[in-house]
Homo-oligomer: A and B are copies of this chain.
Amino acid sequence: MLQRSAPGTVFDALGDSTRRAIVERLSLGPASVSALADPLGVTLAAVLQHVQVLERARLVTTEKQGRVRVCRLDESGLETARRWIDERRREQERKLDRLAQVLGEEGSREE
A interface list, Cβ under 8 A from B = 7-8, 11-12, 14-17, 20, 23-24, 27-29, 73, 75, 78, 81-82, 85-89, 91-92, 95
Using Cβ atoms and an 8 Å threshold, which residues of chain B touch A24? 88
A55 smallest CB distance to B (angstroms): 16
Closest to A7 in B: B20
If over half of A's interface residues share one DSSP class (helix, strand or loop), that class is named, otherwise mixed; here it is helix
The distance in angstroms between the C-alpha atoms of A86 and B86, with both chains bound, is 12
A89 smallest CB distance to B (angstroms): 6
| A17 in contact with B27 given A75-B89, A78-B89 (CB within 8 Å) | no
Contact for A91 among B15, B28, B81, B87, CB less than 8 A: B28
CB-based closest 7 A-B pairs: A15-B15, A27-B91, A27-B88, A11-B14, A27-B92, A29-B95, A82-B85
